[in-house]
């Protein structure tokens, strides 16, 4: 039975480390909050959420979805994860604030201290050298190394600053997503790459005896696992307690997103040699045999209690689309219900505040939820969606006091990877039926087998599920740059003050 890719869900731009018997993996979360997810494993195959580094990154109108401001396709990208002198370091840039952030903590669960590093370091990686000097590498096509000062607030005056790798070949994607390591006295830089001659992403590595010396190397891994010429690349390497080496990279899988793949490697004459093909099945000795992992996705009955500070912490698999508006959501107002109150008018789903999301999982999956729309106002929409550039949803809406169930979707140009860009146009309505009551049970189904990337929506009538609307095609685009997610949403198009309640959320992976 296959177990590689190791997670059939959107965890791109991976960096991975081991601290004693525990592996940690960080991934890009962009506009989702809480942000900067760190996963934990004891065998590199099975993973669970360890923590999120921040609740909200910056108090900006765009990160809070105020008006029609947003950070789709931006936010936190490609973090570097390191552990040095009993402290965790997370470093990344945010493409909306144009800042480089450094978070530090002595415990993986925090508290995390935030600071800014002067400069903007795209797809960076930190190196703590044995002589106490600290470096950051970064860039696209031209990979730079810059020495940082001891408190990591900016470049060290008079410190090393040079190009270490430069792509001179015809390419679609120059070297980027770099990760730097020092192993047995040599320096290794791993990068993603896409040559025009290859037409798919590959992994490259360059090695030097010193940071002032010449880095030499090239392509080290080129495989698509027989999947649509979708190359496996960009990520980190890590060794096990018994000295074996593995790399965790990602692979594009259509609308579900970019998913992690593990590949064995070894050093031969001080150069990394990857297995020629990513194995479909792999076993790695667990450092804690029998450990039971928390699910990366799951059900929720929305029964929560306040902590000592009077706050609620939702289950780890939930993230909001952008920073939530705290005053407009609750799970304690009506126990067993996630409630969203309307606080602004919106043209479409993109701008809905407090949309609560979970990643979709391949090969196919479904979500079921019960919706109470008794407090909706005319022009309100509340329901269950697949949140992606080409989104689709099923929702209750009201018009002249009458409740309707609708299925809507956004159609995008599938010829351009950049999409149609986020706009303020309403979704296309494909179906509408009147409903007598205000309480409905909804289902959203996603099929990601072989990049089919289709979704369907249903409502329950007695014991029977009825399909509503079309089978909608979802397309991964760079205007959002993330895989699609299930979302619970509510927004107003005419006036505020409405509310919606969601209960009995169920998540099923089907194959």
Q: Per-residue pLDDT tens for 17-36?
A: 999 999 999 999 999 999 99
The reported pLDDT for the residue numbered 175 is 96
Domain ranges (residues) in the chain: 15-236, 319-509
Instruction: Check if the beta carbon of residue 138 is closer than 8 Å to that of residue 189.
Output: no
Q: Is 176 a catalytic residue?
A: yes
Of the listed 176, 222, 252, 453, which one is catalytic? 176
Measured distance CA(383)–CA(187) in Å, rounded: 52
> What is the C-alpha end-to-end distance of the chain, expressed in Å?
12
The dihedral through the CA atoms of 35, 125, 82, 257 has a sign that is positive
Task: Give the predicted TM-score (pTM) of the model.
Answer: 0.97
Q: Is 13 a catalytic residue?
A: yes
Written as six digits, the tokens of 68 are 């029609």
Of the listed 13, 167, 372, 380, which one is catalytic? 13
Fold match between domain 15-236 and domain 319-509: no
Q: Where are the beta strands (DSSP E) in 379-438?
A: 380-387, 392-399, 402-409, 428-434
Instruction: Check if the beta carbon of residue 1 is closer than 8 Å to that of residue 474.
Output: no
Residue 412: pLDDT band (50, 70, 90) is confident
Instruction: Check if the beta carbon of residue 468 is closer than 8 Å to that of residue 407.
Output: yes
The reported pLDDT for the residue numbered 418 is 66
The reported pLDDT for the residue numbered 415 is 67
Domain 15-236: CATH superfamily, name plus number? Glycosyl hydrolase domain; family 43 (2.115.10.20)
Mean pLDDT, rounded, for 31-59: 98
Please, how many CA atoms are within 13 Å of residue 209, restricted to the half-sphere of its CB?
Answer: 2
Burial 454-485 (b: 16+ CB within 10 A, else e): bbbbbbeeeeeeeebbbebbbbbbebbbbbbb
pLDDT tens digits along 228-256 = 999 999 999 999 999 999 999 999 999 99
The reported pLDDT for the residue numbered 511 is 65
CA dihedral (448, 320, 392, 455) in degrees, to 10, reads: 20
Which of these CATH numbers, 3.30.565.10, 2.60.120.200, 3.40.50.800, 1.10.40.30, describes 319-509?
2.60.120.200
């Amino acid at each position: 039975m296959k177990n590689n890719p190791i997670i059939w869900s959107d965890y791109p731009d991976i960096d991975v480390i081991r601290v004693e018997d525990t592996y940690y993996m960080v991934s890009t979360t962009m506009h989702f909050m809480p942000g900067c997810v760190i996963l934990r494993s004891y065998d590199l195959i099975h993973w669970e959420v360890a923590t999120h580094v921040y609740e909200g990154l910056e108090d900006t109108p765009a990160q809070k979805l105020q008006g029609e401001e947003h950070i789709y396709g931006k936010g936190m990208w490609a973090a570097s994860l390191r552990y040095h002198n009993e402290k965790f370091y997370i470093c990344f840039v945010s493409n909306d604030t144009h800042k480089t952030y450094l978070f530090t903590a002595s415990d993986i669960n925090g508290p995390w201290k935030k600071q800014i590093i002067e400069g903007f370091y795209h797809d960076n990686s930190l190196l703590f050298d044995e002589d106490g000097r600290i470096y950051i590498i970064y860039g696209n096509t031209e990979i730079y190394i810059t020495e940082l000062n001891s408190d990591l607030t900016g470049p060290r005056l008079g410190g090393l600053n040079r190009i270490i790798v430069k792509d001179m070949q015809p390419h679609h994607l120059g070297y980027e997503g770099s990760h730097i390591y020092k192993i047995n006295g040599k320096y290794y830089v791993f990068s993603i790459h896409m040559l025009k001659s290859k037409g798919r992403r590959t992994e490259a590595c360059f090695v030097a005896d010193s940071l002032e010396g010449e880095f030499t190397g090239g392509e080290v891994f080129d495989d698509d696992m027989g999947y649509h010429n979708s190359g496996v690349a960009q990520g980190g390497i890590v060794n096990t307690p018994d000295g074996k080496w593995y790399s965790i990279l990602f692979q594009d899988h259509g609308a579900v997103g970019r998913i992690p793949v593990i590949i064995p490697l070894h050093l031969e004459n001080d150069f990394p040699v990857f297995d020629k093909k990513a194995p479909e099945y792999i076993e790695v000795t667990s450092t804690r045999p029998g450990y039971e992992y928390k699910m990366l996705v799951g059900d929720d009955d929305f029964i929560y209690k306040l902590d000592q500070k009077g706050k609620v912490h939702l289950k780890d698999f939930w993230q909001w689309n952008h920073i939530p508006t705290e005053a407009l959501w609750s799970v304690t107002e009506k126990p067993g219900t996630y409630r969203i109150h309307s606080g602004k008018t919106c043209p479409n789903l993109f701008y809905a505040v407090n949309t609560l999301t979970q990643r979709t999982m391949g090969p196919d999956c479904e979500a079921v939820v019960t919706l109470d729309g008794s407090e909706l106002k005319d022009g309100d929409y509340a329901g269950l969606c697949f949140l992606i550039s080409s989104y689709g949803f099923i929702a209750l809406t009201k018009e002249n006091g009458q409740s309707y169930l609708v299925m809507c979707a956004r159609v995008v140009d599938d010829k351009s990877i950049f999409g149609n860009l986020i706009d303020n146009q309403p979704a296309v309505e494909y179906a509408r039926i009147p409903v007598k009551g205000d309480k409905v049970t909804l289902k959203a189904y996603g099929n990601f087998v072989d990049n089919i990337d289709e979704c369907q929506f249903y409502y329950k009538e007695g014991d029977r599920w009825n399909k509503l609307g079309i089978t909608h095609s979802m397309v991964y685009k760079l205007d959002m740059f993330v895989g699609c997610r299930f979302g619970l949403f509510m927004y107003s198009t005419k006036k505020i003050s409405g509310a919606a309640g969601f209960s009995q959320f169920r998540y099923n992976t089907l194959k």
